[in-house]
Amino acid sequence: MAKDKSLKSGSNHPKRKELGSNASDVQAEKIMEAEIKKKRKKMAIEEDPVQTPHVTITADDKKQKKDTKCKKKGVKEQTQTKQTEISDPPSLPEGTHKPETEEEDLSPEEKRVLERKMKKILKKEEKKRLKAEGETLQKSEASGPTAPQQALDYLTCWAENRTEWRFQKTRQTWLLQHMFNSEKIPDDKFSVLLLYLEGLRGGARDTTVQKAVALVEESGQAPEDMVVQQRAHRAREVIQLLS
């Protein structure tokens, strides 16, 4: 009976030892599998790295900068287009206004900058237009009647059409200054001027007489000068008329 127990116990002991060995092997295999999986996962990450949020943000920033740059470029092209259209006013029909749809996409600051540029351009164009009109006006005046012709026409109107004649101090002053010059006032006009001088009054009458007396005195110093003698002859007629 004791022998049977010893046999039975002897037969059980190797089985426990074998079970312990199998458990160790299973645990070792699990550890190795875990290490293999870990190595495979690491290799997979190295071969195909996952994009981090930092990379995504950088890409968005680049896209945003690109969009901003494109927008600024578009605004610059619009500004240049507006400047070209403003600098060439005849291209737009008279009475029409430029549409403002292009300004809807601009920021308030960009609109203010664009408005300032447009004001400067319009101001320059206005100065050019006024300058051109001034030059045109000067040319038209130069091509019109000259001062001598206007003064002689004034005298003729006084003599022939008294109802339409109106006193003009500028024309009278010119006649009094050049009345002794036969080149500027011919003899036929001088005879009319003498009739006009009969109505001369005040300081203009006194000044005319003094000038005539000075010419007569000058003629005594140059008896051979025909121009001086001719002026003196007219001066004597004026003195006789107004004295």
Q: Look at residue 73 in the predicted model and tell me its pLDDT.
A: 64
Q: Look at residue 113 in the predicted model and tell me its pLDDT.
A: 84
Q: What is the mean pLDDT of the chain?
A: 74
| 106 pLDDT tier (thresholds 50, 70, 90) | confident
Mean pLDDT for 157-183 is 92
For 136-162, write each residue's pLDDT tens digit. Answer: 556 555 556 788 899 999 999 999 999
| 29 pLDDT tier (thresholds 50, 70, 90) | confident
For the chain, give every domain's residue range.
63-87+104-142, 147-242
Helix axes 169-178, 147-160, angle to 10 degrees: 100
